[in-house]
């Protein structure tokens, strides 16, 4: 995890940069307001080597014009991420979810070389959002006293966890260089890193039971290392953070009726002093048994943090019926980049 702050016209331009890796600066609001301190605030961050990003406070209506106003008035350069701030305005109004989505798409069209993401609080994400669209990054505000563990299941990249004395955030990156690479900074490393491989499976006879209505977290008792398979203690973890990954898992299930649904997903768990807890949950795949051999697969790509022994797990659910499904075989394979 890395640390950063966000600033607006309410803060000065000589904020402390000690221990920070990024600063996000409020640039504009609506179609007529500009932060008079934005350029000095950004310059102060750049001088300290911070990654600089920008955000626009969204009002309802005139979305395309607001997007144009934002990109024209903010001081962004290549490699600066851009965000829309979606919350209740000073007059008590708010842009709709559709308008939020439109703004992100408009900015992407106007600045195709930039990462474009969404800032909102936990209430907006859980109760106002209906599309789960956050562009390239979800920046979530949840003042829960647990930096890096907002109370949502969606994948996030930035967590604003307090507003005292400044809006303070953590980012799900191993270091500042990893953030620069993600943001597309032309001065970051340009050579693509080769991914590593995480490969787990189950041995013959290592069956697991998915009972109706209860998520089963799969365990694996074989690992592929040094060119060969090795038997190991059965465990749930298929990847430890911090890492960006792409991949998934496959299962062979017995006991499903033709036309019966089964659900699969990846999850991120984390550990603290009281033990393991559920963190983010990836979107669910819901294949239907076609009376074939019972093979089902799931793939996804995401980033798993590393501040609390974060790990990736594979989960299966039988959502209906009275009979359990027996998972006769399972295999997980992920390509990942550390950091």
Domain boundary among 159, 183, 207: 183
- Which H or E run includes 66? helix 63-73
Residue 139: CATH number of its domain: 3.20.20.80
14 cis-preceded (ω within 30 degrees of 0): no
pLDDT at 305: 76
Say how many C-beta atoms besides its own lie within 10 A of residue 306's C-beta. Answer: 20
Instruction: Quote the pLDDT of residue 303.
Output: 84
According to the model, what pLDDT value does residue 190 have? Answer: 46
Cα radius of gyration (the chain): 22
Structure tokens belonging to residue 58: 């969204």
Query: Which residues touch 305 (CB under 8 Å, ≥6 apart)?
Result: 1, 148, 172, 241, 242, 268, 270
H-helix or E-strand spanning residue 67: helix 63-73
* 125 and 20 in a common domain: yes
Residues 163 and 255 in one domain: no
**Total structural domains in the chain?**
2
DSSP letter for 236, please: S
**Does residue 213 contact residue 322 with C-beta atoms inside 8 Å?**
no
- Cβ atoms of 191 and 324 closer than 8 Å: no
Q: Are 158 and 307 contained in the same domain?
A: no
Domain residue limits at 305: 196-338
The residue from 162, 183, 204 where one domain ends is: 183
DSSP characters over 142-163? --SS-TT--S-SS--SEEEEE-
The enclosing domain of 220 has a CATH number of 2.60.120
pLDDT value of position 122: 96
Query: How many Å from the N-terminal Cα to the C-terminal Cα in the chain?
Result: 9
Task: List average pLDDT for each run of 10 residues in the chain, which is 339 residues long.
Answer: 96 95 98 97 97 98 98 94 97 96 96 94 96 93 92 91 94 92 75 80 96 96 93 95 90 92 92 82 89 85 77 94 93 90
Same domain for 334 and 236, yes or no, is yes
Q: Specify if 60 maps to a domain.
A: yes
Domain co-membership, 225 together with 173: no
pLDDT at residue number 308: 63
């Amino acid at each position: 995890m890395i640390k950063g702050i966000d600033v607006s016209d309410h803060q000065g331009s000589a904020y402390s940069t000690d221990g920070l890796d990024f600063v996000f600066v409020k640039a504009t609001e609506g179609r007529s307001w500009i932060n008079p301190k934005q350029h000095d605030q950004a310059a102060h961050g750049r001088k300290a080597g911070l990654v600089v990003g920008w955000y626009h406070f969204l009002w309802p209506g005139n979305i395309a014009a607001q997007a144009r106003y934002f990109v024209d008035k903010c001081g962004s350069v290549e490699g600066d991420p851009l965000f829309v701030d979606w919350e209740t305005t000073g007059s008590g109004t708010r842009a709709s979810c559709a308008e939020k989505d439109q703004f992100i798409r408009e900015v992407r069209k106007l600045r195709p070389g930039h990462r474009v993401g969404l800032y909102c609080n936990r209430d907006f994400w859980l109760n106002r959002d209906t599309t789960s669209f956050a562009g390239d990054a979800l920046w979530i505000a949840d003042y829960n006293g647990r930096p890096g563990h907002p109370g949502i299941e969606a994948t996030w990249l930035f967590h604003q966890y307090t507003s005292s004395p400044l809006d303070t955030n953590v980012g799900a990156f191993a270091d500042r260089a990893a953030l620069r690479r993600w943001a597309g900074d032309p001065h970051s490393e340009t050579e693509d890193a080769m991914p590593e491989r995480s490969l787990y499976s189950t041995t013959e006879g290592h069956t697991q039971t998915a009972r109706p209505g209860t998520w089963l977290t799969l365990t694996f008792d074989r690992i592929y290392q040094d060119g060969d398979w090795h038997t190991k203690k059965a465990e749930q973890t298929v990847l430890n953070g911090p890492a960006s990954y792409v991949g998934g898992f496959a299962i062979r299930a017995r006991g499903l009726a033709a036309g019966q649904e089964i659900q699969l997903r990846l999850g991120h768990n984390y550990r603290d002093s009281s033990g393991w807890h559920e963190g983010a949950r990836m979107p669910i795949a819901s294949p239907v048994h076609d009376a074939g051999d019972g093979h089902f697969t799931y793939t996804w790509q995401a980033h798993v943090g590393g501040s609390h022994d974060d790990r990736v797990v594979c989960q299966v659910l039988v959502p209906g019926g009275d009979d359990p499904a027996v998972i006769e075989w399972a295999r997980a394979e992920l390509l990942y980049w550390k950091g």
